Amino acid sequence: MHFTVALWLAAGVALAWSRARDPGKTRLALAKCWRSFEGILPQFAGVLLLIGTALTVLSPSTISALVGRRTGIPGMLLTSAVGAITLIPGFIAFPLAKTLLDMGAGVQQVAVFISTLMMVGVATAPMEARYFGKKATLLRNTLAYILSFVTASIVGMVAGR
Amino acid sequence: MSPLARYRFPIAMAALAAAVALVMPAKAPLLVRNTVANFAEMLSVLPPIFVLLGLMDVWVPREAFVKYMGDGSGVVGALLAIIIGSLAGGPLYAAFPVASMMLRKGASFYNAMVLLGAWSTLKIPMFLFETASLGARFSISRWAANLPVILGMSWLMIRLLGPAERTAIVERQHGLDTQFAAHPEGRTRRSHAGYVGRRQ
């Protein structure tokens, strides 16, 4: 929340400064800003609708029930798949991860869930591909998925019980 | 492209959401709540980011990006990408237009990838929340493990993509920009002419 306020303030101050220095350039900046926003808006809207639907079907309670007591590689594969496909905002994801830990999921399973959640975005892939192309998108997400297991193993070693 | 064709993806997704709501009427209120929350998050983060991007595009000269984040920028460039990424907030999708603008302005492909990586997992606001929920051992070890992973992954990306493909991706960012500029109104045409000089 604080961050969002800071972001709006920064944008407001920058805009005021820009306008004071050069109104023409500022108009150009806003035109560019609107064009790039409107250009990607269909992808954004579609992805957000998809995520809203996915989160409803795969609600936090469903996820907890699915992976709550599982451990080992199958548990990691399951949590990583959930993490890779969905896009859950941090304020839901971290309490959910805490619940998973409390329900008996291993640290590795939870770490791989958090890592894939943040780095891999199957739902946002259409948007990413619009910017960087299909190949780079596929490559980045695949690498991020594999490396999430590396990170999770390290976290498991350090923070594991 | 007609507006209908451009918006076929969100229209299809809206139809999917409606279908899910019909099949599972008990979940319909939750679906509406989730979707509204998602749009609220997007609308709270994206407008200021796009305004800042537009202003940076106009005010920060290409030379500055080339110098501090370009191919020869070395440690400074990667460090800047990490700092920008970890101070950022909002979901990863908000980082795509930022990385796109950086590439368009002459930042190296490696640094753009480092920015995406840092944005996805090293965000400080997120880190604080993670510490509060899961404990410092968890969050610090994840942060520390992710730093080299992101640098290594970005390196792998440039190796696996190769120079030709990377050039094509950078070109694509210019294409996206001019594609959006190709609206028929005079205002946008004039504004387009105003920044032709930014390209080499």
**Contact predicate A107/A161, CB 8 Å:** yes
CB of B138 less than 8 A from some CB of A: yes
d(CA B120, CA B43): 19
Residues contacting A39, CB < 8 A, separation 6+: B176, B179, B180
Residues contacting B163, CB < 8 A, separation 6+: none
Q: What's the pLDDT score for residue B1?
A: 65
- The beta-carbon neighbor of A155 closest among B145, B152, B179 is B145
Task: With beta carbons under 8 A apart, name residues in chain B contacting A91.
Answer: 129
Task: With beta carbons under 8 A apart, name residues in chain B contacting A131.
Answer: 96-97, 99-100, 172-173, 176
Dump pLDDT digits (tens) for B22-40.
Answer: 998 988 898 898 889 888 8
ipTM: 0.82
Average pLDDT over residues B121-140: 88
pLDDT higher at B88 or B186: B88
Task: Bin B167: left if φ > 0, else alpha if -120 < ψ < 50, else beta.
Answer: alpha
Residue of A nearest to B88 (CA): A3
Q: What's the pLDDT score for residue A27?
A: 93
Q: What's the pLDDT score for residue A161?
A: 61
Q: What's the pLDDT score for residue B182?
A: 40
Look at B50 and A37 and tell me if their CB atoms are within 8 Å: yes
First vs last C-alpha separation in chain A:
33
Average pLDDT over residues A21-36: 90
Dump pLDDT digits (tens) for A39-98.
Answer: 888 888 888 888 888 878 877 777 777 776 666 788 888 888 888 887 777 767 887 888
**Contact predicate B129/B143, CB 8 Å:** no
Look at B161 and A135 and tell me if their CB atoms are within 8 Å: yes
pLDDT higher at B102 or B189: B102
CB atoms within 10 A of CB A99: 17
